[in-house]
Amino acid sequence: MGYRKEVRKNKFEKGGDSMTNIALYNGILMPEIGFGTWKAPTGKVTVEAVKAAIECGYTHIDCAAIYGNEKEVGLGIKESNVDRKNLFITSKLWNDVRGYQETIDAFNQTLSDLQLDYLDLYLIHWPRPVKYHDNYIEKNIESWKAMEDLYKQGKIKAIGVSNFKVHHMEEIMENCEIKPMVNQIEFHPSCLEKEIRDFCKKEDIVVTGYSPLANGKVFECKELVEFSEKYGVSIAQLCIRYALQHNVIPLVKSVTKERIKANLNVNFVISDEDMEKIDKITTCGGSYKDSDNILF
């Protein structure tokens, strides 16, 4: 258990609880549980959810241009009155945007929507959007060079990728000056992505895990009930803890205040034996998208 890098406890000014941070290879600290915003609707619900999350102690918020709600997330951040330096904000470059200047422009749009003047992490959302680009390797490299320059200018504190398989990582790494610091992938019981996690571990690249609750499908997985009862926690808490014990930073989404709060309460330990049993469960759903063959 535990990350190879330094682990520090930070007590943030706002937010009731302390949040453990892990260090990326460039020393930037990332809070070990993130708040997801996919499918959080435009309008007040999302503004209030973001405010509730920050109030409860989340300091890490996962956004993306394609979610269509960065203005609401930005408003929630602003209205929370939290010191910007105590937050870790991620966004992602969508599939229809590739190229040097195009990436700079998309990044600036995201910053403007979020009402921020820098991002903590910016990711290429998917490696191979065949719908928009044939020559994806070349296009990713152009975008990556723009991200490297934004990083050098201090406008992004860390740069990374999402949904990248080993070969996509290698294609970037062979052609880049700064290797990715993070890869964001789907991770939950029944979706373990061991090959890419092993690769990232070897390369000192932090793995963040999206859909830690399989976008809600884990609640239909009967095999998890035994473990949630054993530890006296909800299935959501079990899955969030499960990700942490696999050295994956869970990014969990909710717009429901009680759930937002409860999802941070994961201060228990799943035994090694039970981790192995949960590893073997295959019925918890998942999107199982092949990132070489996406249609969006």
Piece in contact with ligand NAP (CB under 6 A), picked from 172-180, 196-204, 213-221, 264-272 = 213-221
Q: Which is nearer to ligand NAP, 101 or 260 (CB)?
A: 260
CA distance 134 to 65: 22
Q: List, in order, residues 6 or more apart from 223 with CB less than 8 Å away.
A: 281, 283, 284
Q: Which is nearer to ligand NAP, 237 or 247 (CB)?
A: 237
Q: Which is nearer to ligand NAP, 86 or 215 (CB)?
A: 215
Q: Containing H/E element for 126?
A: none
Which of 75, 192, 221, 236 touches ligand NAP by CB under 6 A?
236
Provide, rounded to whole angstroms, the least separation between the CB of residue 218 and ligand NAP: 7
Which of 24, 29, 33, 37 touches ligand NAP by CB under 6 A?
37
Asked whether position 215 contacts ligand NAP by CB under 6 A, the answer is yes
CA distance 157 to 115: 17
Q: Are the CB atoms for 199 and 167 separated by under 8 Å?
A: no
Asked whether position 110 contacts ligand NAP by CB under 6 A, the answer is no
Binding mask 64-103 for ligand NAP (x = CB under 6 A): ----------------------------------------
For Cα atoms 118, 120, 123, give the angle at the middle one, nearest 5 degrees. Answer: 105
- Cα–Cα distances in angstroms (integers) from residue 285 to residues 123, 185, 237, 288, in the given order: 25, 15, 17, 9
CA dihedral sign, ordered 188, 157, 126, 49:
positive
Residue identified by tokens 């998890």 is: 224
Asked whether position 256 contacts ligand NAP by CB under 6 A, the answer is yes
Asked whether position 143 contacts ligand NAP by CB under 6 A, the answer is no
Go through the chain and tell me how many residues it has. Answer: 296
What count of Cα atoms within 13 Å lies in the side-chain half-sphere of residue 245? 21
Q: Containing H/E element for 170?
A: helix 166-173
Asked whether position 214 contacts ligand NAP by CB under 6 A, the answer is yes
Provide, rounded to whole angstroms, the least separation between the CB of residue 209 and ligand NAP: 8
Residue identified by tokens 């998917």 is: 126
Piece in contact with ligand NAP (CB under 6 A), picked from 24-32, 105-113, 245-253, 270-278 = 245-253
Q: How far is CA 87 from the centre of its chain?
A: 14
Closest CA to 48 of 73, 24, 12, 15: 73
Which of 254, 261, 270, 285 touches ligand NAP by CB under 6 A?
254
Which of 24, 73, 251, 278 touches ligand NAP by CB under 6 A?
251
Provide, rounded to whole angstroms, the least separation between the CB of residue 6 and ligand NAP: 25
Asked whether position 210 contacts ligand NAP by CB under 6 A, the answer is yes
Q: Which is nearer to ligand NAP, 4 or 296 (CB)?
A: 296
For every residue of 179-194, DSSP letters joined together read --SEEEEE-BTTB--H
Q: List, in order, residues 6 or more apart from 55 with CB less than 8 Å away.
A: 14, 15, 16, 80
Known active-site residue 67 = yes
Piece in contact with ligand NAP (CB under 6 A), picked from 4-12, 23-31, 170-178, 208-216 = 208-216
Beta-strand relationship, 19-23 and 29-31: antiparallel
Asked whether position 165 contacts ligand NAP by CB under 6 A, the answer is no
**Interaction site with ligand NAP (CB under 6 A):** 36-39, 62, 125, 162-163, 184, 210-216, 219, 234, 236, 251-256, 259, 262-263
Looking at the annotation, which residues are catalytic?
A: 67
